[in-house]
Chains A and B, each alone.
Chain A
């Protein structure tokens, strides 16, 4: 039992990890065929993961409803929405259009999902404005830098800011001085400072990912195996 729960997954992880790290650098037809096959397996696994995800959502919310945990009514709404969507989806054969017209499933998507998701996202604008008013304060030099940058970028990214704070040129004798506007400063902030910082973060995250992948391949990191009696 311990072999199936521990050694076998570790061996599969090691073999597949090493093989497909090397595969990337081998442009041979056999290697290409291998990646095609494995990507098909991964697509099948992703499909199963979707089913597993739905089952997990059902389970979590069923427990909430059974225990009448705070907010269990929302779980009821979620259940009703999932069941209705699935029933309508099966009834429409999974098609959103049929015979040139819209099916019930297509209608459900266009007139409930699209506006509901749009509403959820648009509400963010109101909360961001309220949060910015209460929290965006120059409490320290770092916070002040962040505040000034945010205001400049917010101005530079919209036409009104570009019109109110345009760049200009001043000629003094034979010298021409260019005073950057909100647009120019925003472009500089995004392309130079933002890029440099993001690149540093990306490199750090990538190094971390490589390290973690190596630990998983070599069997040092085993939390993905889960806990159990045999662990």
Chain B
């Protein structure tokens, strides 16, 4: 009996990884096909972003920086869509840009799509500045003079004189800023070279992987809110009352997390069954 249990444990520990891949595929696909729609709990860090946006007066300037590329699209695009929907619903003036050259087309597509669905006009209600080189140097440049940093927007329209940028000279005139970041050039850079120098309020949105690293900035008040991963996006969608891609994806994420937890628990059970075997053999 004991021997057969050990045999089973040995076989299970060396299980073909394609079986694990299959389990993960099923855990992802089945909830997407048959969603079970569990309630989404809203965290204080996401609520803080929503509350700040909600408190902004009409025509305030909201800057959204798409600091990611298509590889982080599943997590960060839902955040961008939810934030843009909220900003347009609040009738804010929206400035969109990106620090990642490979994210330019993606950012343009998202802002155009959300603007079209909310009936907003390019140049009057929002502007997509596109990408410019420099990283932190670009932020400093925007902090000095927005029109020197971006003389024209993504569609080659001169930025000077655009109705959406009326009264905006530099980053000091931005009322709220959110950086949606997938890595290095993102929230930390915006804080150090932007907020700290030019004094505007900002929050962050990030992939689930880098979110834990941003909690010190949140706790110290360097960012006033944090939207972390697909869960954060789902929370924001819940807050604006418009469920979208993130809420739909949370069922799949729930199932995948549970499959991984079950696998890890099983692996440890088999590990304890086999523990000591090595020593005896030696």
A residues whose Cβ falls under 8 Å from a Cβ of B? 24, 32, 35-36, 38-40, 42-43, 46-47, 50, 96-97, 106, 109-110, 113-115, 117-118, 120-122, 125-126, 128-130, 132-134, 136-139, 147, 150-151, 154-155, 157-163, 183, 187, 190-191, 194-195, 198-199, 202
Task: Tell me if A42 and B268 are in contact (CB < 8 A).
Answer: no
With A118-B73, A154-B257 known as contacts, the answer to whether A190 contacts B38 (CB < 8 A) is no
Chain A residues near B41 (CB, 8 Å)?
Answer: 159, 162, 183
Task: Tell me if A129 and B38 are in contact (CB < 8 A).
Answer: no
Nearest first, the 3 A-B pairs at minimum CB distance are: A160-B254, A42-B137, A159-B38
Q: How many A-B residue pairs have CB under 8 A?
A: 166
Q: Per a CB cutoff under 8 Å, which of A96, A120, A130, A134 touches B108?
A: A96
Residue of A nearest to B215 (CB): A195
With A158-B254, A163-B38, A195-B219 known as contacts, the answer to whether A114 contacts B263 (CB < 8 A) is no
Q: Per a CB cutoff under 8 Å, which of B144, B155, B267 touches A39?
A: B144
A102 to chain B, nearest CB (A): 10
Task: Tell me if A157 and B137 are in contact (CB < 8 A).
Answer: no
B44 to chain A, nearest CB (A): 8
Chain A residues near B23 (CB, 8 Å)?
Answer: 129
B residues whose Cβ falls under 8 Å from a Cβ of A? 13, 15, 17, 20-21, 23-25, 28, 38-41, 43, 69-74, 101-102, 104-106, 108-109, 132-135, 137-138, 140-141, 144-145, 148, 155, 197, 208, 212-213, 215-216, 218-219, 229, 231, 250-251, 253-261, 263-268, 271-272
Task: Tell me if A36 and B257 are in contact (CB < 8 A).
Answer: no
Chain B residues near A110 (CB, 8 Å)?
Answer: 105, 109
Task: Tell me if A160 and B255 are in contact (CB < 8 A).
Answer: yes
